[in-house]
């Protein structure tokens, strides 16, 4: 692309202000008796199914992704679904849902059950790719260095963390995720030589221990970095001139002789330019930098953080991209980069259902509210077309949650119950080291949870492979598999695939819990047999994760 030297030319090349779409589309839907709805965004799981668990719900995924995955899609327990090709808002009040969006919004009757509606919608709008992400993410617990090292990622402590896994009796091997500040700078995707004396030797050692290595990246580029100079100035490090372009530009942009005017985006680590993933040069630059890490250092994959969109990115009035777009389109384009790297993880996303991309729940606090959120949010994620979901980090993904001055005091019980929910979920991810945070029975309970996962690893892998073919959630609501049994609003227990019922304890200090056992014969973790449908009460001492294998 040849860049012209006037603002008018930029409008031709990149698209300028004004709405991308025609007048808003609207739809009203009367909720049927006994009907509940899922969808919209992962983080609304605790309100779902809407109209049953929450009578009033409002959101607008045109204006933001609410810290996690968003999709213009709702699906009903009565076999209906709502879909649009563009983002929309939804308001539920007095038994009626009102939608408003940037494209036609359709109500489709596709059967009588949640499963029938989901499968019809998936086939029509987000068909399964048939591919899984790297199954090492499923086969064993994952280990993320964030909580332990925060902004001091370094070679010595990463190796010590990895060695501590085996030394303290946890399953060795799996995935090590090296988090923020391994790199020299944002958009300078090189190991910081002040903290990594020989990064290739480090990855080689981790590989010998049985780990694949992921490193953290974001879509941002520091505005004094080589990548920024290359895309805005059209100048490589060697002084070689190249074509400009590849960063998101200012809405009131100016084109100077030397450079394009990139838009600074505020995020949690400051202000940076944003890679334009609608631009072939932005995509090529980012992919080139990541592939170099794989080739030069033996990095196996990437934790793609950020990618959120907010009200300031809602329309092209606020920025200019190569193709006229919105903030949610840019988030979707960022997610597409992950398709080049099977070992991937995203925390923010728009659409992309049916694809082999891991979706991690947004950072949860270290509190009981967060424990209650994990299962319903994973259910919502699966029903949005993302079966490969990770329930954040065990105990909390926020490093400040483990500080002495944290808003909520650290509780070993929260750590244990979080680990037990993770154990038989699609993925299990540690960050805070259990051997540092726990002792006695609590430590043994968390270690037991990790080994429980290993016991069922082959089964969970089989579920992941099947979900890649069908698009169905790995982690399922009881209503999904057993419609018409009174399970519509149950969100504190789940099915892993078809044959494993999991009922973790989610209440502080509770020593028992009720379990709704679906039809069939089920063998419990304690060896007892239950014939459903039946409601039972089970003991839940700290060491126990109640689960049931279907026999017939």
Q: How confident is the model over 505-527, as pLDDT tens digits?
A: 999 999 999 999 999 999 999 99
What whole-number distance in Å separates Cα of residue 355 and Cα of residue 335? Answer: 10
Query: Token digits for 449?
Result: 């949870």
Residue 254's pLDDT is what?
A: 63
Residue 22's pLDDT is what?
A: 52
Residue 104's pLDDT is what?
A: 97
Q: Where along the chain do its domains lie?
A: 23-125, 472-550
What whole-number distance in Å separates Cα of residue 249 and Cα of residue 262? Answer: 4
Residue 10's pLDDT is what?
A: 33
Mean pLDDT of 231-250: 89
Residue 312's pLDDT is what?
A: 66
Q: 3-state DSSP: the chain helix, strand, coil percent, rounded to 5?
A: 30, 25, 45
CB-based contacts of 397: which residues, under 8 Å, 6+ apart? 146, 147, 362, 363, 364, 431
Sign of the alpha-carbon dihedral angle for 360, 429, 471, 121: negative
Instruction: Count Cα atoms within 13 angstroms, Cβ side, for 466.
Output: 14
Among the listed residues 172, 194, 191, the one whose alpha carbon sits nearest the alpha carbon of residue 180:
191
Quick one: pLDDT band at residue 456, thresholds 50, 70, 90? Answer: very high
pLDDT of 455 over the 70 cut: yes
**Share of residues in the chain with pLDDT > 90 (%):** 86
Mean pLDDT of 33-38: 98
Look up the pTM and report it.
Answer: 0.94
Q: Which CATH architecture has domain 472-550?
A: Sandwich (2.60)
Residue 18's pLDDT is what?
A: 34
Query: Token digits for 275?
Result: 């890679």
- Asked if the domains 23-125 and 472-550 are classified in one and the same CATH topology, the answer is yes
Q: Per residue in 287-341, pLDDT tens? A: 999 999 999 999 999 999 999 998 667 555 678 899 988 999 999 999 999 999 9
Instruction: Count Cα atoms within 13 angstroms, Cβ side, for 102.
Output: 17
Residue 162's pLDDT is what?
A: 98
- The reply to whether omega before 533 is within 30° of 0 (cis) is yes
pLDDT of 252 over the 80 cut: no
Residue 23's pLDDT is what?
A: 64
Query: Token digits for 104?
Result: 């036609």
Residue 315's pLDDT is what?
A: 58
pLDDT of 203 over the 60 cut: yes
Q: Per residue in 375-401, pLDDT tens? A: 999 999 999 999 999 999 999 988 888
Q: Per residue in 45-85, pLDDT tens? A: 999 999 999 999 999 999 999 999 999 999 999 999 999 99
pLDDT of 11 over the 90 cut: no
Q: Per residue in 403-426, pLDDT tens? A: 887 778 899 999 999 999 999 999
What residues pair up with 213 in beta bridges, in sequence order? 176
pLDDT of 3 over the 50 cut: no
Average pLDDT over the chain reads 93
Residue 409's pLDDT is what?
A: 86
Residue 273's pLDDT is what?
A: 96
pLDDT of 14 over the 80 cut: no
Q: Per residue in 528-551, pLDDT tens? A: 999 999 999 999 999 999 999 999
Residue 530's pLDDT is what?
A: 98
Mean pLDDT of 464-483: 98
Q: What's the CATH number of domain 23-125, 2.60.40.1760, 3.40.50.920, 3.10.180.10, 2.60.320.10? A: 2.60.40.1760
């Amino acid at each position: 692309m040849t860049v012209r030297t006037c603002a008018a030319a930029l409008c031709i090349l990149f698209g300028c202000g004004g709405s991308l779409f025609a007048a808003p589309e609207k739809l009203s839907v009367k909720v049927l008796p006994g009907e509940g709805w899922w969808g919209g965004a992962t983080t609304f799981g605790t309100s779902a199914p809407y109209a049953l668990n929450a009578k009033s719900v409002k959101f607008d995924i045109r204006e933001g992704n609410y810290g996690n995955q968003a999709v213009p899609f709702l699906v009903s327990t009565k076999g209906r679904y709502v879909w649009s090709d563009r983002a929309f808002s939804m308001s539920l009040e007095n038994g009626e849902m009102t939608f408003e969006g940037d494209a036609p919004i359709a109500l489709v009757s596709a059967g009588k059950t949640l499963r029938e509606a989901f499968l019809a919608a998936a086939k029509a709008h987000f068909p399964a790719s048939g591919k899984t992400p790297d199954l090492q993410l499923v086969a064993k617990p994952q280990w993320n260095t964030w909580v332990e090292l925060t902004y001091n990622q370094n070679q010595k402590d990463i190796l010590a963390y990895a060695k501590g896994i085996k030394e303290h009796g946890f399953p060795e091997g799996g995935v090590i995720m090296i988090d923020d500040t391994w790199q020299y700078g944002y958009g300078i995707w090189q190991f910081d030589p002040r903290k990594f004396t020989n990064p290739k030797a480090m990855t080689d050692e981790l590989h010998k221990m049985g780990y694949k290595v992921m490193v953290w990246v974001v879509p941002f580029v520091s505005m004094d970095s080589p990548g920024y100079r290359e895309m805005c100035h059209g100048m490589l490090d060697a002084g070689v001139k190249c074509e400009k372009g590849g960063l998101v530009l200012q809405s009131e942009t100016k084109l100077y002789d030397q450079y394009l005017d990139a838009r600074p985006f505020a995020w949690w680590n400051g202000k940076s330019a944003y890679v334009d993933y609608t631009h072939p040069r932005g995509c090529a630059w980012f992919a080139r930098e990541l592939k170099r890490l794989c080739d030069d250092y033996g990095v196996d994959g990437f934790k793609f953080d950020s990618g959120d969109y907010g009200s300031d990115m809602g329309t092209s009035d606020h920025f200019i991209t190569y193709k006229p777009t919105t903030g949610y389109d840019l988030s979707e384009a960022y997610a597409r980069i992950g398709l080049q790297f099977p070992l991937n993880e995203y925390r923010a996303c728009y659409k992309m259902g049916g694809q082999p991309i891991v979706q991690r729940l947004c950072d949860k606090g270290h509190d009981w509210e967060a424990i209650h959120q994990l299962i319903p949010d994973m259910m919502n994620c699966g029903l949005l077309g993302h079966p490969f979901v990770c329930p954040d980090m065990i105990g909390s993904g926020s490093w400040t949650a483990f500080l002495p001055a944290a808003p909520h005091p650290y509780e070993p019980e929260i750590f244990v119950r979080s680990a037990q929910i993770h154990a038989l979920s699609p993925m299990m991810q540690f960050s805070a080291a259990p051997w540092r945070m726990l002792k006695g029975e609590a430590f043994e309970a968390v270690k037991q949870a990790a080994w429980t996962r290993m016991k069922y690893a082959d089964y969970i892998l089989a579920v992941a492979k099947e979900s890649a073919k069908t698009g169905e959630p790995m982690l399922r609501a009881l209503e999904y598999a057993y419609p018409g049994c009174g399970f519509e609003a149950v969100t504190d227990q789940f099915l892993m695939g078809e044959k494993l019922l999991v009922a973790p304890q989610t209440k502080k200090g509770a020593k028992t819990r009720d379990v709704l056992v679906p039809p069939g014969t089920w063998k419990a973790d304690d060896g007892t047999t239950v014939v459903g449908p039946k409601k039972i009460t089970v003991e839940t001492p700290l060491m126990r994760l109640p689960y049931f294998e279907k026999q017939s």
